[in-house]
A = this chain, B = another copy of it.
Amino acid sequence: MHQQIDIPALLDGDRNALSRAITFIESNRPGDRESKWALLEQLLPHTGKSKRVAISGAPGVGKSSFIDRLGAYLIASGHRVGVLAIDPSSSNSGGSILGDRTRMTSLSAHSNAFIRPSPATDTLGGIAARSKEVMLLMEAAGYDIILIETVGVGQSEVAARYMVDYFMLLLLPGAGDDLQGIKRGIMEMADLLIVHKSDGDQLPLAQRTAQHFKAAMHLFPPKPSGVPVEVARVSSLQNKGIEEVWQRVMKYVDTTEKNGYFQRWRRSQEMHWLEEGSMQILLDYFKNSPELQSRLNALKSQILSGDTNPVAALHTIDHFIKKLLHD
């Protein structure tokens, strides 16, 4: 497999080489893993130089149109932008009704943008580990800004949190008037709250919402970065506020590089990757272990025929795994 990937072309920014490498990395076969580690080790020195930003928010808040505008702005400023989605439900669902490409109309047409949907895998730890690797491949191919779109308001944000330097949370005007429905944990992850769709009839409400969140920020503990959470208003429809958002990112990077947090957090990202990646390796072996899978299938048949129950079956699996690990 590995032989088919043209590493010099990938490092030179070739889209096809990058696509093939991503497909290879996303494949889940333990037999490919030696080649996978070899590929990643070769590419690792060429990674880490991008700015990594998460864009989060509930469905309907307009993440795609925002990313489309932000990406277009960054490309116009001379950057190459990689967009990666983390979507735990995509493995089961085939993704959104409208695909990423139709949702991001300006970006998807641009040669300096590379849009990749969420890797299809059946565990969230798998998505986290795989997404991290895909991000590194994009960096090796010269994408110097990585935008991670999270879908939903739960575990995918936790996964994204450990992949990025900066975390944006999009909100709707009015939607957060009493902070209800917005998870404290997600709020605490955010470096920037963006009141989106701040335009037209909604403008006054958006202004009040932004004021409200600014006032509410004292409810939250100080950020370990030393940079307080900020609140911005954006209209992607009118293309307003995009540049200001990016200036905040740049200011944040500058401040945290100087106070050392940026580098410390990058190390934390690596530690997290090591743990998630290790669990993923373990689960891959589990899924590909003929002994374990045949044992599992036999137990399933026994449950269906009424010869055992799920608790007794799990008890058996527990002993089997214990024996496997300690013998």
A4 at the interface (CB under 8 A from B): no
Among A40, A60, A154, A183, chain B packs the most CB atoms within 10 A around the CB of A154
Cα distance A277–B46 in the bound complex, in angstroms:
40
Does A246 sit at the interface, judged by CB under 8 A? no
Chain B residue nearest in CB terms to A300 = B271
A124 at the interface (CB under 8 A from B): yes
Pick the residue among B41, B44, B181, B312 that contacts A61 (CB under 8 A). B181
Question: Contact: B183 with A93, CB < 8 Å?
Answer: yes
Contacting B at CB under 8 A, from A178-219, are 179-186, 188, 219
Q: Given known contacts A183-B89, A274-B299, A311-B37, is B322 in contact with A285 (CB within 8 Å)?
A: yes
- Mostly helix, strand, loop or mixed at chain A's interface? helix
Which residues on the B side are within 8 Å of A40 (C-beta)?
Answer: 311
Q: Is A156 part of the contact surface with B, judged by Cβ < 8 Å?
A: yes
Check A309–B185 contact: CB distance below 8 A. no
The interface residues of chain B lying within 8 Å CB-to-CB of A181 are: 58-61
**Contact string, A90-127, partner B, CB cutoff 8 A, digits 1/0?**
10111111100000000000000000000000011100
In chain A, positions 53-84 with a C-beta closer than 8 Å to chain B are 58-61
Asked if A5 lies at the interface with its beta carbon under 8 angstroms from chain B, I say: no
Inter-chain contacts of A58 with B (CB < 8 A) = 58-60, 153, 181
CB-CB under 8 A from A317, the residues of chain B are: 274, 277-278, 281
Contacts A59-B182, A93-B184 supplied; 16 other A-B pairs, CB < 8 Å? A41-B311, A44-B311, A58-B58, A61-B181, A89-B158, A89-B186, A93-B185, A152-B153, A152-B154, A273-B314, A274-B313, A274-B314, A277-B314, A278-B321, A281-B318, A324-B325
